[in-house]
Amino acid sequence: MSTIRDVAKQASVSVATVSRVINQSGYVHIKTKERVEKVIKQLNYQPNDVARSLYKGRSKMVALLVPDIMNPFFPQLARAVEDVASKYGYTFVLCNTDDEKEKELAYLNALRQKSVDGMIIVSSKLSQEDVSDITTPMIALDRKISIDIDLVTVNNQDGAQQAVRFLMQKGCQRIGHICGPENASSSKARLKGYLDVVKNEPWFSSGYIRSGKYGFEAAFEATKKMLTEHPDIDGLFAANDLMAVGALKAAEQLGYRVPDDLSIIGFDGIGIGKATKPAITTMAQPIYEIGATAAEMLITRIQDTTIPITEKELRVKLIERGSTRVS
Amino acid sequence: MSTIRDVAKQASVSVATVSRVINQSGYVHIKTKERVEKVIKQLNYQPNDVARSLYKGRSKMVALLVPDIMNPFFPQLARAVEDVASKYGYTFVLCNTDDEKEKELAYLNALRQKSVDGMIIVSSKLSQEDVSDITTPMIALDRKISIDIDLVTVNNQDGAQQAVRFLMQKGCQRIGHICGPENASSSKARLKGYLDVVKNEPWFSSGYIRSGKYGFEAAFEATKKMLTEHPDIDGLFAANDLMAVGALKAAEQLGYRVPDDLSIIGFDGIGIGKATKPAITTMAQPIYEIGATAAEMLITRIQDTTIPITEKELRVKLIERGSTRVS
DNA sequence: TTGTAGGCGTTATCAA
DNA sequence: TTGATAACGCCTACAA
């Protein structure tokens, strides 16, 4: 790996001049510029990003922290963030936190020490004080972290209401809810939306709610328990699609026919929902757009840290498929 | 962000002493050590990784380059690599290349400029000369890149043979193959395994092979065409599970009953294969183990670049599910 | 046991 | 239009 000094020597100029050529800054004679460029090509010189980062205090890297890389929602999101990041010349770093506060804090630290320029965070565990001393630009995604951090979400509560009402329209009389982790704001909003619709129903009790922690396995178990305890349930609203698939599998195992005996609706709109049979009816989020929006916001904030905190809410959309009964 | 100098000043020692305390190197009086540590805590000092990287020429980062982050195979792999990486104190970087040579080369460059310590690469497009000038430790995964790069794979050819023979045992008479991208060594090996078994069959012709490029959509289309042209096909070997799901959906759309009219077997053993109905019979790879193995190999090589090139082959295992007929 | 100082590769300031 | 040089923050000979 040759350095700027090697180039300078070869081209019989100072490092300052080479630097000017590289960065297209300041004046440099066309003749010398050509000479330097030739040497650069000859030596296949590439500026060392680490040295640059040290000097500038910036690294041209952005990170995305997600709780579960195995949930297809997040790869799709990651894809979007990466696209935008690389569009602006940023290197993209993906970090998986397992929804554990400790790992999240460890990453926050590691990334700061690496002078990462910005982060997009999906976290149920972090709170205001955990991030109050962090000056690196941050965007919260899907789940609110603190009032002074930008946020990108969807109309969760409203979407959940729509989902539950849809089940009712289709004739469901007893609707259960598999909710996400209790600390996640998205999960809380969806639960709220569910409650808005059903809490005054005569049949409703807290037994109609169980946590699936946004995961397949937990949802599978939760559904089995719920259906066993409340065999009268004929509709199920899962707070995400991964859990909806878990619920579907659980229902099948218990001998339910979906959607004849039980209608299931999910949330997210991930690809796997189309692979099951029946395919999962869902409140689809514009996942790619969410990621791209967050990434754009992040880069805007990196470029100007003084802009006011904003919250952006995108909209979900019902996609009807086979897991809900027809009328 | 306080620096080592701030700590030194506060503790009335030199930066060298602080450095010694941080790195537990050289001699330092227990008394001064305590004092320094107190100040470090007070100031909440954290060493700047960028400066360290610059000095050492290493960054404590490893990268994983994958062709398609949306294929669940790769998140699972990423998960494994990340676990091992962080076990050894490395930060993990995930890069998505879309199986495009240009993006791969761009990443290779960007990562080198960032002094990334090592990379694990899944690539169909890179060849010996593309990487010959790279000194950063590298491991090829799933697909061979060059003879002088470590490789981690599975017994693809053998596994493919097993898969096809399994279909025959189950009574399939005409077996088609949806293959992966033509340049990927894993894809080539699986195709070879398929051919080993069927090439001397009287019915066989090249029309029984179509490329699905390891992707859902392409496999969906390929399957529809193949089944339309060869309605006699009663068995299908897809070179990965994502394509097997695509094939399943295509077959359904054409009115085939799986597995009664058509048996389908995949390759990989990703979770989604369990979500479909019928669930996908597959040659399962030990995905996590593959990723962990590659990561361990990478770190070994980072620590000692002189060790000889090795190729490690893990073994696939048949998992029978509903997409193949019973007898 | 501790401190001084040079260097890692860049960039930017200030003279020339 | 160009060049010397001081940072950026850290580590490690080498001296003391």
Nucleotide nearest to B15 (CA to C1'): C3
Nucleotide nearest to A15 (CA to C1'): D3
The HSE-up count of residue B267 (CA atoms within 13 Å, CB side) is: 33
CB contact under 8 A, B82 and A96: yes
Chain A: residue nearest B47 by CA?
A113
pTM of the model: 0.94
CB contact under 8 A, A96 and B78: yes
- Residue pLDDT, tens place only, A52-87: 999 999 999 999 999 999 999 999 999 999 999 999
Q: How far is CA B172 from CA A308, B194, B223, B246, in A?
A: 65, 14, 17, 20
CB contact under 8 A, A50 and B69: no
pLDDT of res. B87? 94
Residues of B with CB under 8 A from a CB of A: 44, 46-51, 53-54, 59, 61, 69-70, 72, 74-76, 78-79, 82, 91-96, 109-115, 133, 216, 245, 249, 252, 271-272, 274-277
Q: Which of residues 62-91 of B touch strand C (CB under 7 A)?
A: none
Q: Token digits for B150?
A: 């470590």
Is-contact A85 A295, C-beta < 8 A? yes
pLDDT of res. B64? 97
DSSP string, A61-110: EEEEEES-TTSTHHHHHHHHHHHHHHHTT-EEEEEE-TT-HHHHHHHHHH
Output the CA angle A278-A157-A262, nearest 5 degrees.
25
H or E element at residue B287: helix B287-303
> Which CATH code of 3.40.50.2300, 3.20.20.140, 3.20.20.60, 3.40.50.170 fits the domain covering A156-285?
3.40.50.2300
| Whether A69 CB is under 7 Å from strand C | no
CB contact under 8 A, B50 and A50: yes
pLDDT higher than 80, residue A198: yes
Give CA–CA dist A254/A224, Å, rounded: 7
Of A69, A75, A272, the CB nearest to B275: A272
CB contact under 8 A, B276 and A277: yes
Q: How far apart are the first and last CA of chain B?
A: 68
Is-contact A150 A93, C-beta < 8 A? no
Q: Which nucleotides of D are covered by protein (CB under 7 A)?
A: 1-5, 7-13
Chain A residues in contact with B219 by the CB 8 A cut-off are none
- Residue pLDDT, tens place only, B259-312: 999 999 999 999 999 999 999 999 999 999 999 999 999 999 999 999 999 999
Q: Which of residues 43-82 of A touch strand D (CB under 7 A)?
A: 51, 54-55, 57
Note the CA–C1' distance, A16 to D7, in angstroms.
14
Among A250, A192, A194, A198, CA closest to A219: A250
Q: Token digits for A270?
A: 């991930």
CATH architecture of B61-154+287-316: 3-Layer(aba) Sandwich (3.40)
H or E element at residue A283: strand A281-284
Among A241, A106, A110, A133, CA closest to A123: A106
Note the CA–C1' distance, B26 to C2, in angstroms.
11
H or E element at residue B121: strand B118-121
Mutation for A interface: B114, B220, B243, most A CBs within 10 A:
B114
Q: Token digits for B140?
A: 């090829």
Q: How far is CA A94 from CA A23, B81, B82, in A?
A: 29, 12, 10
Of B59, B75, B271, the CB nearest to A69: B75
Strand B118-121 and strand B138-141: pairing? parallel
Give CA–CA dist A167/A282, Å, rounded: 11
CA A221 to chain centre: 25
The percent of residues in chain A predicted with pLDDT above 70, rounded, is: 100
pLDDT of res. B255? 96
Of B61, B75, B114, the CB nearest to A70: B75
Is-contact B2 B44, C-beta < 8 A? yes
pLDDT of res. B9? 95
**Average pLDDT, integer, range A88-112:** 94
Note whether A61-154+287-316 and A156-285 share their fold. yes
pLDDT of res. B213? 97
Domain residue limits, chain B: 4-47, 61-154+287-316, 156-285
Of B50, B91, B109, the CB nearest to A53: B50
CB contact under 8 A, B271 and A95: no
Note the CA–C1' distance, B110 to C12, in angstroms.
24
- Residue pLDDT, tens place only, B4-25: 999 999 999 999 999 999 999 9
Interface size between A and B, measured as CB pairs under 8 A: 116
CB contact under 8 A, B115 and A277: no
pLDDT higher than 80, residue A18: yes
H or E element at residue B264: strand B263-268
Topology of domain A4-47, CATH: 434 Repressor (Amino-terminal Domain) (1.10.260)
| Peptide bond just before B67 cis, omega within 30 deg | no
Give CA–CA dist A279/A244, Å, rounded: 10
- Residue pLDDT, tens place only, B90-141: 999 999 999 999 999 999 999 999 999 999 999 999 999 999 989 999 999 9
pLDDT of res. B327? 75
Give CA–CA dist B235/B170, Å, rounded: 9
**Average pLDDT, integer, range B26-33:** 95
pLDDT higher than 90, residue B76: yes
Q: Token digits for A213?
A: 């922690």
| Whether B5 CB is under 7 Å from strand D | yes
Q: At B192, phi and psi to the nearest 5?
A: -60, -45
CB contact under 8 A, B49 and A110: yes
At residue B237, the 3 state secondary structure works out as strand
| Whether B12 CB is under 7 Å from strand C | yes
pLDDT higher than 80, residue A327: no
pLDDT of res. B1? 86
pLDDT of res. B282? 98
A1: confidence class by pLDDT, cuts 50, 70, 90: confident
A131: confidence class by pLDDT, cuts 50, 70, 90: very high
